[in-house]
Amino acid sequence: MPTIAFVSPKGGVGKTTSAFLFATAIAEIYDVTVIDADPNHPIQTWATGGNTPSRLTIISGVDEDTIIERIEDAAAQTPFVIVDLEGTASKTVIYAISQADFVVIPTQGSQLDANEASRAIRVVLQSEKMTGKPKPYAVLLTRTSASIRTRGLAHIQNGLIDAGIPVLETELNERDAFKAVFSFRQTLDGLNPAEVPNIDKAKINVLKFVEEVFARLAAEEGGRKEDQKSSAVAGAA
């Protein structure tokens, strides 16, 4: 029952867009709850378009007093819980991270954005210290060009990797379709190819993102089982 939180104190880096795309992609197969914990509730507003997939439940109106309970309730109801958070450092964000099995830190490809990402990473590491448990996370580069790899972006990417920060190989490229889902209040599948270019490429981009997060979750789960096995063996010895 993974809970995946999308976190960054920087506004406008693509938290809502990536959380939404992730949730609607997996809602094709699994039941998913999106906790729209942004006071501006962008995903709840999207849902007023009437195109919410049947497997997707959206909960909004949460705050620091209710976020933990809402996540726990949602995790008991659906196999996936996706949490979209506001772009500030708040108690709500800290509590959501404490409940998450995986944290995605969306980051645009500039040095200033990378610096903001490191603030989010510090909160994740604090959560690890408080709970004494690993808190898997990864940076997701967003709004990158699908066609051009700039030296600036490569430099930032390498800087993060050299600092031991996990960075997803998949980037969420800058795509019209990723904006259009909100303007038309549609899922990617519901967009009209006559109105929006490259919907297929956008879908492939999201699928790769989902697959990579799934692979990381599976690797974490595998690692945990191995740890449990070795401590059981050590205990029996």
Ligand X SMILES: Nc1ncnc2c1ncn2[C@@H]1O[C@H](COP(=O)(O)OP(=O)(O)OP(=O)(O)O)[C@@H](O)[C@H]1O
List contacts with Mg ion (CB under 5 A): 15-16, 38
CB of 219 to ligand X, least distance (A): 25
CB nearer ligand X, residue 85 or residue 160: 85
CB of 152 to ligand X, least distance (A): 18
CB nearer Mg ion, residue 182 or residue 184: 182
Residue 57 touches which of ligand X, Mg ion, none (CB < 5 to 8 A by kind)? none
CB of 98 to ligand X, least distance (A): 20
What is the contact surface with ligand X in residues (CB under 6 A)? Answer: 11-17, 38, 86-87, 142-143, 172, 174-175, 178-179, 182
Asked if residues 172 and 14 have their Cβ atoms less than 8 Å apart, the reply is yes
Q: How far apart are CA 217 and CA 221, in angstroms?
A: 6
Residue 184 touches which of ligand X, Mg ion, none (CB < 5 to 8 A by kind)? none
CB of 175 to ligand X, least distance (A): 5
